[in-house]
């Protein structure tokens, strides 16, 4: 019998389809609405247990830099105050952290556990510190992580307030994310992958299901795709169970990295068919087994395992996944276990003792000369593919950075002694005097197979020297001072000679040239670069005075080294920093160069003109003498942009430009007899955010004048005005009276120009009188129209100034400023910020009066970073007390204690006022003062 059919018109069919569709949508919509409501209730219930975490990594350590970051964590034990987050949030090094709860209550956190390998760790807070919230305790349910499960990631996404991201678990066997060589990377574990893109501050967020159970821990995201990586909770649950009862979390390792491979690849590696059958039968859901990827050289396993080995069995247990392998090793630390592998079709067995992961994870560091070093970690040994020996450079700081030893290096020898660990380093340092040179052998990430050799100078003066060890009870890293070392030996005088050249001018100048190296331990006065070199010119061989430019010696705070004839290096010191021009003087002890035939340069005060034949002679960084013939191209006013960093900038200066000017070395410009008519100086010039260097000639008369005043002990006087040159024709347009026009035409027929006010120095007498655009008519009755004329006329206590402004002539007696050449001679490190008296560039370039204390630098991971006490600001009040100068500032802050909060009023360069609060950290950022003393500096602890 056939099937009965009833014909339906097309229109009736369409109506039925539409009705069924609407009914389906209605049901689906109601289901979706119900699902959403259920999610909302779940999220509302657990939100109080999710916290924002502010973390200040106070020292660079292992894979992490010192920095201030934000992240997420969540309460897993409200009674004990335990918070779960990522390892890279707790960090392996010293941190200061706070948790901010949903109601904006803030509590301090103490790190209690960070896993040596996997990306999880625990903080603890004092539950009694919470007054207005009872946070929800989130439950860990590792087994609830399943493919296709809808999840929500709730956390501090990108540093914003708590946010919620939806996703679906797509994979349970994703390889651990790789963040690059030298950085923290998880291994020997699967990760979960979900279609949900997280970012910055969402690290440590709970991954929850609709019932509010935590199924995974957010750990990272793929910036190239909308996917996130979640850490499974199997090993987290075990660690949590031990941490909450106060037990040590045992962690075992074979110092071996495994990778999970599918059966097809395993067969090619030599997996036996019988073994595959047995494993498939035991684990029908598994699709592969573990294969050795790499082994740390020198480990016990390195004598047995080889890359490509297939792990079959541990003891009497078949092992095919990471979790069972970790479980058996964690439970058998220090004990031997039988490991069975297959290699190329052959079965091999051997007993291996399980190493303690905590023993090969550094928990102390040494800081000296601003460097931070510690034992090479398991993490970094993997990247170097070397045994766990050597001292790792987490931060090169000043002492290692000066010698071009980079972060990520491994020191293998110091002063000829092998460096296996920090004990070796401490012993070696104790035998080296402050200021003494020592050889360092090291390897680097770029070339780990070849050692490099550098010479460092031991520093105990600029920075503290300490050894610090983690205390898991307090969460701090208490420090003890390192040995002071033996007394420094006085330098031994030595001699050298100069190699003759084929040019008489070079032979005449060479004994007057010296290579100057200058290293800055701190960022001060707007100068952030740390290492400089340039050609110095001996101005007085008897006194040991060498003239350099301020792009070689920009400030008075630093270490000077002078090299004669490319052969003899001796220490030096800063003598004078020219307050107006690109000149400085460094000194040395002439006795230290013995019979070296140096001589004072022959400076020639000569006005240069375009076309004059000259020779450029100077030294490259390797001390090789360079020479090039040239000619004067022009003599014109230097015009430099204002400094963005508020560093020194030259003005009121006419410089010499030459034809085909060499830019790869500085030095002197000499005439045909070898007389120095000009310095060939390097100027630091800011071009937007980039720092550039340009070479220009500085007339010799500026040098001789500076040296004469320095010998006589006379200050340099300044009218404190920056001038610009204006053609007389332009002055006429301002209705300048004709008799003044005539006087200026007669004064200098070749240069028919006048000087107009560009800007004045804030706080000076000139600021009370001059206005931008004023035309200078005369000083003490003398007509002047060049920078040098005005500078020479101002070398007295008072001057009579005659100007033209808005059609009227004004006359005023003005006091000049007596400027010294000491430059900065004092600074204070406080709360991680280096503060100093406001330097002259603020008043000169930005019209900022020198009041308050200027923040010249802030250390990352310090209170200054966390609370916004950034460089470029001036502190004018602390807790309502004015701080007009450094003494007043110290009087207010000197007695403030650790973890004490202060209210700080700051002013930016454009006079924007901001009040910030700051909590002190004397544990990691103790206060000290740096004082210039004689020819050197000393560091004095404040508290």
Is 27's pLDDT higher than 80? Answer: no
d(CA 792, CA 441): 54
What is the pLDDT, as a whole number, of residue 67? 94
| Contact between residue 291 and residue 247 where contact means Cβ atoms under 8 Å apart | no
Cα distances from 309 to residues 130, 330, 348, 898, in angstroms, run 53, 22, 10, 54
What is the pLDDT, as a whole number, of residue 14? 46
Cα distances from 762 to residues 706, 721, 770, in angstroms, run 24, 10, 11
Question: Can you tell me which residue has the tokens 């942009």?
Answer: 641
Out of 68, 196, 202, 409, which one is annotated catalytic? 202
The sheet carrying 808-815 orders its strands as 721-727, 753-760, 775-779, 798-805, 808-815
| Contact between residue 744 and residue 780 where contact means Cβ atoms under 8 Å apart | no
Question: Can you tell me which residue has the tokens 């980079």?
Answer: 406
What is the pLDDT, as a whole number, of residue 32? 73
- Work out the average pLDDT over 229-248: 95
Is 781's pLDDT higher than 70? Answer: yes
Of the two residues 451 and 227, the one the predictor is more confident about is 451
Residue 396, phi then psi, degrees to nearest 5: -70, -25
Is 628's pLDDT higher than 80? Answer: yes
d(CA 555, CA 824): 7
Q: Cα 695 from chain centroid?
A: 29
List b or e across 909-932, with b for residues whose CB sees 16 or more CB atoms inside 10 angstroms. beeeeeebebbbbbbbbbbbbbeb
- Work out the average pLDDT over 748-757: 93
Is 926's pLDDT higher than 60? Answer: yes
Q: Band the pLDDT of 13: cuts 50, 70, 90.
A: very low
Out of 56, 115, 119, 559, which one is annotated catalytic? 119
Which residue pairs from 467-475 have beta carbons closer than 8 angstroms and sit at least 24 positions apart in sequence?
Answer: 467/364, 467/365, 467/366, 467/422, 467/426, 468/94, 468/364, 468/365, 468/366, 468/367, 469/363, 469/364, 470/94, 470/363, 470/364, 472/112, 472/113, 474/110, 475/110, 475/111, 475/112, 475/124
What is the pLDDT, as a whole number, of residue 851? 93
d(CA 750, CA 223): 65
- Work out the average pLDDT over 215-223: 75
Annotated catalytic, 202? yes
Neighbouring CB atoms inside 10 A of 102's CB total: 16
- Work out the average pLDDT over 874-890: 97
Mean pLDDT, the chain, whole residue set: 92
Nearest CA-CA partner of 200 in 21, 390, 69, 62: 69
Annotated catalytic, 331? no
The per-residue pLDDT for range 450-498, each reduced to its tens digit, is 999 999 999 999 999 999 999 988 999 999 999 999 999 898 999 999 9
Out of 88, 573, 717, 747, which one is annotated catalytic? 88
What is the pLDDT, as a whole number, of residue 25? 46
Q: Band the pLDDT of 196: cuts 50, 70, 90.
A: low
The per-residue pLDDT for range 346-403, each reduced to its tens digit, is 999 999 999 999 999 999 999 999 999 999 999 999 989 999 999 999 999 999 999 9
Q: Cα 386 from chain centroid?
A: 27
Q: Band the pLDDT of 161: cuts 50, 70, 90.
A: low
Is 200's pLDDT higher than 50? Answer: no
d(CA 693, CA 661): 13
* CA end-to-end span of the chain: 105
Is 7's pLDDT higher than 80? Answer: no
What is the pLDDT, as a whole number, of residue 447? 85
Is 331's pLDDT higher than 60? Answer: yes
What is the pLDDT, as a whole number, of residue 220? 67
Q: Band the pLDDT of 183: cuts 50, 70, 90.
A: confident
The torsion of the CA quartet 845, 851, 852, 857, rounded to 10 degrees, works out to 20
The token pair at 846 is: 């930005």
d(CA 379, CA 180): 12
The token pair at 682 is: 């390097």
Q: Cα 217 from chain centroid?
A: 30
Is 20's pLDDT higher than 70? Answer: no
What is the pLDDT, as a whole number, of residue 159? 47
Annotated catalytic, 717? no
């Amino acid at each position: 019998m056939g099937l009965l059919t009833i014909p339906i018109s097309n229109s009736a069919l369409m109506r039925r389809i539409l009705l069924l569709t609407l009914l389906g949508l209605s049901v689906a919509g109601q289901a979706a609405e119900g699902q959403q409501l259920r999610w909302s209730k779940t999220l509302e219930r657990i939100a109080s247990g999710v916290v924002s975490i502010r973390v200040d990594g106070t020292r660079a350590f292992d894979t992490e830099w010192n920095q201030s970051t934000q992240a997420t964590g969540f309460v897993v034990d409200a009674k004990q105050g335990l918070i779960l987050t990522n390892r890279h949030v707790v960090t392996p090094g010293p941190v200061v952290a706070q948790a901010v709860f949903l109601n904006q209550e803030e509590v301090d956190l103490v790190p209690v556990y960070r896993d040596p390998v996997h990306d999880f760790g625990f903080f603890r807070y004092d539950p009694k510190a919470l007054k207005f919230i009872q946070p929800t305790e989130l439950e860990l349910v590792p087994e609830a992580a399943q493919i296709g499960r809808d999840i929500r990631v709730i956390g501090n996404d990108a540093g914003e307030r708590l946010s919620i991201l939806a996703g679906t678990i797509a994979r349970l066997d994703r390889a651990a994310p790789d963040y690059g060589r030298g950085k923290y990377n998880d291994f020997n574990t699967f990760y979960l992958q979900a279609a949900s893109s997280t970012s910055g501050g969402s690290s440590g967020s709970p991954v929850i299901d609709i019932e509010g159970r935590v199924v995974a821990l957010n750990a990272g995201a793929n910036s190239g795709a909308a996917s996130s990586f979640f850490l499974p909770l199997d090993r987290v649950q075990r660690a949590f169970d031990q941490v909450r009862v106060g037990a040590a979390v045992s962690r075992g390792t074979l110092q071996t990295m495994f990778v999970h491979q599918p059966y097809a690849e395993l067969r090619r590696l030599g997996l036996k068919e019988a073994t595959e059958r047995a494993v498939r039968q035991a684990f029908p859901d598994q699709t592969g087994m573990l294969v050795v990827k790499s082994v740390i050289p020198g480990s016990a396993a390195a004598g047995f395992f080889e890359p490509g080995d297939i792990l079959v069995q541990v003891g009497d247990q078949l092992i095919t996944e990471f979790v069972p392998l970790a479980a058996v090793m964690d439970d058998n630390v220090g004990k031997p276990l039988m490991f069975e592998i297959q290699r190329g079709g052959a079965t091999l067995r051997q007993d291996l003792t399980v190493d303690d992961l905590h023993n090969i994870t550094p928990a102390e560091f040494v800081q000296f000369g601003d460097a931070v070093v510690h034992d090479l970690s398991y993490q970094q040994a993997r990247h170097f593919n070397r045994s766990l020996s050597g001292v790792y450079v987490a931060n090169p700081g000043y002492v290692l950075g000066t010698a071009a030893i980079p972060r990520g290096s491994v020191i293998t020898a110091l002063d000829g002694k092998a460096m296996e660990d920090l004990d070796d380093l401490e012993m070696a340092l104790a035998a080296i005097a402050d200021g003494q040179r020592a050889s360092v052998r090291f390897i680097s990430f770029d070339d780990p197979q070849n050692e490099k050799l550098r010479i460092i100078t031991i520093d105990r003066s600029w920075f503290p020297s300490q050894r610090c060890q983690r205390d898991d009870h307090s969460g701090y890293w208490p420090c003890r001072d390192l040995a002071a070392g033996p007394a420094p030996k006085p330098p031994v005088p030595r001699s050298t000679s100069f190699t003759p050249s084929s040019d008489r001018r070079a032979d005449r100048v060479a004994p007057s040239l010296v290579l100057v190296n200058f290293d800055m331990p701190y960022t001060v006065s707007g100068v952030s670069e740390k290492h400089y070199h340039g050609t110095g010119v001996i101005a007085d061989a008897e006194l040991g005075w060498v003239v350099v430019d301020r792009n070689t010696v920009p400030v008075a705070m630093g270490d000077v080294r002078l090299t004669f004839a490319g052969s003899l290096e001796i220490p030096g010191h800063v003598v004078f920093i020219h307050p107006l021009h690109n000149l400085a003087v460094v000194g040395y002890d002439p006795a230290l160069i013995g019979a070296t035939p140096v001589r004072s340069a022959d400076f020639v005060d000569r006005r240069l003109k375009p076309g004059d034949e000259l020779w450029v002679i100077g030294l490259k960084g390797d001390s090789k003498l360079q020479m090039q013939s040239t000619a004067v191209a022009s003599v014109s006013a230097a015009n430099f942009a204002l400094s963005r960093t508020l560093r020194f900038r030259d003005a009121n200066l006419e410089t010499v430009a030459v034809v085909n000017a060499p830019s790869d070395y500085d030095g002197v410009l000499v005439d045909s007899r070898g007389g120095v008519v000009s310095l060939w100086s390097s100027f630091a010039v800011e071009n937007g955010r980039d720092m550039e260097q340009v070479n220009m000639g500085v007339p010799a008369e500026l040098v001789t004048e500076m040296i004469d005043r320095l010998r006589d002990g006379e200050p340099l006087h300044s009218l404190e005005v920056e001038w610009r040159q204006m053609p007389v024709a332009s002055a006429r347009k301002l209705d300048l009276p004709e008799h003044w026009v005539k006087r200026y035409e007669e004064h200098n027929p070749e240069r028919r120009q006048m000087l107009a006010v560009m800007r004045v120095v804030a706080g000076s007498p000139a600021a009370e009188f001059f206005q931008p655009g004023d035309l200078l008519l005369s000083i003490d009755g003398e007509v002047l129209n060049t920078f040098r004329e005005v500078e020479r006329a101002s070398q007295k206590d008072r001057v009579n100034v005659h100007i033209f402004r808005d059609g009227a002539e004004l006359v005023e007696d003005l006091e000049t400023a007596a400027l010294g050449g000491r430059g900065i001679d004092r600074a204070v490190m406080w709360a991680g910020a280096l503060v100093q008296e406001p330097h002259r560039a603020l008043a000169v370039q930005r019209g900022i009066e020198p009041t308050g204390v200027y923040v010249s630098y802030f250390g990352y991971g310090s209170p200054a970073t966390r609370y916004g006490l950034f460089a470029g600001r001036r502190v004018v009040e602390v807790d309502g007390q004015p701080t007009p100068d450094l003494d007043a500032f110290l009087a207010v802050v000197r007695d403030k204690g650790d973890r004490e909060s202060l209210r700080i009023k700051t002013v930016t360069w454009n006079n924007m006022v901001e009040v910030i609060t700051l909590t002190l950290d004397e544990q990691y950022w103790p206060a000290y003062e740096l004082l210039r003393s004689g020819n050197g500096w000393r560091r004095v602890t404040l508290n």
